[in-house]
Amino acid sequence: MTVIIMTVIILFLTGMQAGTPYFVKRTVVFGVTIPEGHTEDSKLAQYKKYYMTGTLLTGLTSAITFIVLSLNDSTEATIVGSGLALQFFTLLISMILYVVFHTKTAKQKQDNEWGATLKQIRVVDLSSRSADEMLPTIYFTLPMTITIGLIIYTIINYEHLPHLIPTHWGPTGAPDAFSEKNPFTAVALLLILLVMQGMMSAINYFTKKSGIKLNATNKNKSKIQQLTFRKYTSWFLFLTTLLTTLLLAFFQLTIIHEEIGGTLLLITAPLGFLVISLVGAAIYAYKIGQGGARIQIDLEEQTPQGITDVDEDRYWKAGVFYVNKNDPSIFVEKRFGVGWTINLGNPIGYFILFGPIAVILAIAFFL
């Protein structure tokens, strides 16, 4: 089962990475702003194909290598270790390929002086904010309420807990690490979950406050795409939080009531979570795309001539890291990938993202 799970994850990562150039906006290629009229340049199309081919070959090679290694050494620790190593290797090669083609794309743009004669403008539509359908942050209190309720339930049933508290579960759903029972270890899993839920809630709140950037040459179309992207991104974040809550709540209940579920449910629960999460992410990326780029809008719109969007390449380091102290947005849309990234020029973003991670690591350290 572990071999299957690891293989699926490697192939999933490969597919998502390979398809990324086709999930993002046409006007952003490998993290570089490309003005309308040059987005279909043959060189850029060639770079995308080379990146996709290189990533696919790397991922397939990693998957085959992993299967061969697993057949030769079937110990659980070796399988998990080699699987994680090959996942990292696949991501590393895709990152190297990205940097190569980011550099080539930036040079192509500079050498051909794309956009040099166009007037750069920023489109602001105040009505967009009122039409935003991102979920209110109050929705994220539902998973948090479930967690707090389980903490109380665990305290009430403290005397019935086993002497050794599971602190980690393997790919098959069976616990493989334990700590001696005490008030802290009894609820540690739920404390980690509560911190994660708080982080997800904060991400939703601050992405909802982030700026809505419209395309200067396709204002109405990009408005619909942006609003749809924001709505479904918010729902995807909420459903991911809810699924994570249900999975970890199930594990907590198995600590209190060891007779719950049995071996079959312990296997199918995490496997079901994995399948739903991966399928959901794939559908989301393919159907929505970054910034709603893959949403087809049948809309006749007059395209203004001689203008282009404001070129913000100077704020994007390697097209991945956004650093802009003048932008009040804490989270901004990724340029390569689907979703959001933090504005490294705003210190609040560090606190929202890295603060919870530090707390989770601290909890794990004392287990």
Residue ranges of the chain with pLDDT lower than 50? Answer: none
Domain count along the chain: 2
Q: Which two tokens stand for residue 302?
A: 């007059």
Residues 255, 161 within the same domain: yes
Q: Do residue 275 and residue 347 come from a single domain? A: yes
Are 303 and 325 found together in one domain? yes
Q: Is 179 helix (H, G, I), strand (E, B) or coil?
A: strand
- pLDDT single digits (tens) 273-321: 888 988 999 999 998 998 888 888 877 767 677 888 888 889 999 999 9
195 in the same domain as 299: yes
Residues 38 and 96 in one domain: yes
The number of CA neighbours under 13 Å toward the Cβ of 10 is 29
Q: Are residues 178 and 126 in the same domain?
A: yes
**Residue 178, SS3?**
strand
Over pLDDT 90: what percentage of the chain? Answer: 47
> Are residues 154 and 303 both part of a single domain?
yes
Q: What is the pLDDT of residue 261?
A: 66
Residue pLDDT, tens place only, 229-241: 999 999 999 999 9
164 and 274 belong to one structural domain = yes
Domain end position, chosen among 115, 141, 170: 115
Domain that residue 64 falls in: 1-115
Q: What's the confidence (pLDDT) of residue 173?
A: 66
Provide the 10 A C-beta neighbour count for residue 180: 9
Residues 147 and 213 in one domain: yes
Q: What is the mean pLDDT of the chain?
A: 88
Q: Is 155 exposed, middle or buried (0-12, 13-18, 19+ CB in 10 A)?
A: exposed
Nearest to 168 by CA among 328, 364, 18, 361: 364
* Closest CA relative to residue 168, chosen from 179, 154, 152, 155: 179
Predicted local distance difference test score (pLDDT) of residue 51:
97
Whether residue 317 sits in one domain with residue 351:
yes
Same domain (yes/no): 145, 104: no
Is the whole model's pTM more than 0.75, yes or no? yes
